[in-house]
Chain A
Amino acid sequence: EVQLVESGGVLVHPGGSLTLSCAASGFTFRSYWMTWVRQAPGKGLQWVANIKPDGSERSYVDSVKGRFSISRDNAESSLYLQMNSLRPEDSAVYYCARWGYYSGYYHIDQWGRGTLVTVSS
């Protein structure tokens, strides 16, 4: 069974830093693009960042570029999101998710349950 389990969400002050982790199991982690998606309270989903299977390519939504860094450890089947210079608007549930590739199309085929990050003084 595929599992994605996020951890690391806490209350942090504005300007602070935090690293989220995602433990993956039940599939060959090193073969998949991975992603972080967030959802602010009462709001919609927002794609945050992607990382290629070998970690050689990363992309970010403009609002986090330069502040957040996505990384992975394929030996440990783990995904990370380093978040710096946090702002109140970064408060959200952060989901770790997997990009599946079928018949030439990408889609998010597995989601974790999410971890809550609250940025507040």
Chain B
Amino acid sequence: QTVVTQEPSVSVSPGGTVTLTCGLSSGSVSTSSHPSWYQQTPGQAPRPLIYSINTRSSGVPNRFSGSIAGNKAALTITGAQADDESDYYCVLFLDSGLWMFGGGTKLTVL
């Protein structure tokens, strides 16, 4: 069964740039995967971040950007801030016609 893959944990220095990726255990992420990204802090519902490859949801700062690079979707944070420390999830539409979230990436800003 195809699994959506994300880095379990990533760290970045304040002001630095970091890229999180979202891939498939079998195959490549493409526009037909409808990749989107969500940010979640403990005890809160997920917050939409990026959709349509590189469109920011309402209120999302422009330091967040999305892309498809190689065979993965990517979320880049340029100029990371302390309050970016969160869990980040992607979700993809699979060839099976079902949706699947990645396991999430815990981002530490230190």
Contacts and interface: CB of A to CB of B under 8 A. Distances in A.
Bound pair (A, B): yes
Contacts of B20: none
A61 B98 contact: yes
A109 B38 contact: no
Contacts of A107: 34, 36, 48, 51-52, 91
B41 to A, nearest CB: 13
A103 B52 contact: yes
Interface string B27-60: 0000100101010100001111001110101000
Contacts of A109: 48, 51, 57
B7 to A, nearest CB: 13
A104 interface: yes
B46 A102 contact: no
Given A44-B103, A45-B89, A47-B101, A108 B45 contact: no
B91 A105 contact: no
Contact of B100 (A47, A103, A105, A112): A47
Interface of A: 35, 37, 44-47, 50, 59-62, 95, 100, 102-109, 111-114
Interface of B: 1, 31, 34, 36, 38, 40, 45-48, 51-53, 55, 57, 87, 89, 91, 93, 97-104
10 contacts: A60-B98, A62-B1, A103-B52, A105-B53, A106-B36, A107-B51, A109-B51, A109-B57, A111-B48, A113-B45
